[in-house]
Amino acid sequence: MTAPASPTKVRGETILSVDNVMKHFPITQGVLFKKHVGAVKAVDGVSFELRRGETLGIVGESGCGKSTLARMLMRLETPTSGTATLEGQDLFKASGSELRRLRRNMQMVMQDPYTSLNPRMTVGDIIGEPFEIHSDAAPKGSRRKRVQELLDLVGLNPEHINRYPHQFSGGQRQRIGIARALALHPEIIVCDEPVSALDVSIQAQVINLLEQLQDELGLSYIFIAHDLSVVRHIADRVAVMYLGKIVEIGTEDEIYERATHPYTQALLSAVPVPDPEVRHERNIIRLTGDVPSPADPPSGCRFRTRCWKAQDICAREEPLTVSRAADPHPSACHFAELRPTVA
């Protein structure tokens, strides 16, 4: 790793530690006397660590719980159980001024730049809004200047401070969302599908901006996306989620070159590669069926209903996300093994 940015902020040290987080949404019946009849286990025991200055990619199909996880980290959703330690404090137990202080250190960029910006506010008001709550971050007189600096930082014209969101294109709006997230000098930014609503030629511009900001400001990203190619490009480490659990986690190389979980392998092989020459050479795994309902997940291994390796033990015993003999990175499969040329 490179030299530390400052004595207390060592690149590579753990900055956020998430332990066994769960979110169960209750399913109720009846109107007046609501009876709990079950729970949608959107996130069901997720643990990971985020290191300073790195990008942790979280991939998975829709309904795997990746966005719920992000919302919990931002405290937009209250977890059912689990802890998340930031600056030595449990993010989920914090309240009042303590929570406000912790939130300052962790900001979010949303997926849809069309609905995540208030159409009645000017860009200056949108980016400056965090200063209303955290008034010590920028004294009143200097706010306008600070907003203009932020606009410049994300590659927008500082003179456009009085424009409204509709006067900007999708890619520019996403830059506004990024500027807003940067306003309070956070160390962690949670990006929930930040480029999936953008056109291909604009995606690359925003990805490059995120990488450049990381280098300049030493940010740590939690980068949630369903596009595995984008995640490979930007992430240092990658966690693969399936039905509310992390099934495999490792460095970008370990996941993309040496995946041992069958779900990761299937996911990777299903990504269309933009090269007609290799399409016949690729060894594509076709998964059958759909993701089961998170209200009633399969017993044992949750992937077993779609897995070609499934045996009796998979229904009986839930595989733990631990290092496997095939490759020393955590993988939740009883039969973890390498598979040649997945990607």
229 binds other proteins (CB under 8 A): yes
* Residue where the block lists tokens 């962690």: 188
Least separation in angstroms between CB 200 and other proteins: 6
167 binds other proteins (CB under 8 A): no
> Which member of 109, 147, 241, 267 binds other proteins (CB under 8 A)?
267
Sort 195 into a burial class: Cβ within 10 Å, 0-12 / 13-18 / 19+.
Answer: buried
- Restricting to residues 63-122, which ones interact with other proteins according to CB under 8 A? none
d(CA 298, CA 305): 7
- Restricting to residues 273-292, which ones interact with other proteins according to CB under 8 A? 273-279, 284, 286-288, 290-291
The answer to whether the beta carbons of residues 272 and 248 sit under 8 Å apart is no
> Which member of 19, 49, 61, 318 binds other proteins (CB under 8 A)?
61
Pick from 304, 334, 307, 330: nearest CA to 319 = 334
Binding mask 290-309 for other proteins (x = CB under 8 A): xx------------------
Q: Which amino acid is it at 42?
A: A
Least separation in angstroms between CB 190 and other proteins: 20
Q: Which is nearer to other proteins, 143 or 232 (CB)?
A: 232
> Which member of 87, 90, 98, 199 binds other proteins (CB under 8 A)?
199
Q: E strand or H helix at 99, and its extent?
A: helix 96-104
- Angle CA 249–221–202, to nearest 5: 110
d(CA 25, CA 43): 9
* Residue where the block lists tokens 């009143």: 140
252 binds other proteins (CB under 8 A): yes
163 binds other proteins (CB under 8 A): no
d(CA 240, CA 228): 10
* Residue where the block lists tokens 């990619």: 57
Q: How many residues bind other proteins (CB under 8 A)?
A: 44
Which parts of this chain interact with other proteins (CB under 8 A)? 61-62, 169, 171-172, 199-205, 207-208, 211, 226, 228-230, 232-234, 252, 256, 266-268, 270-279, 284, 286-288, 290-291, 343
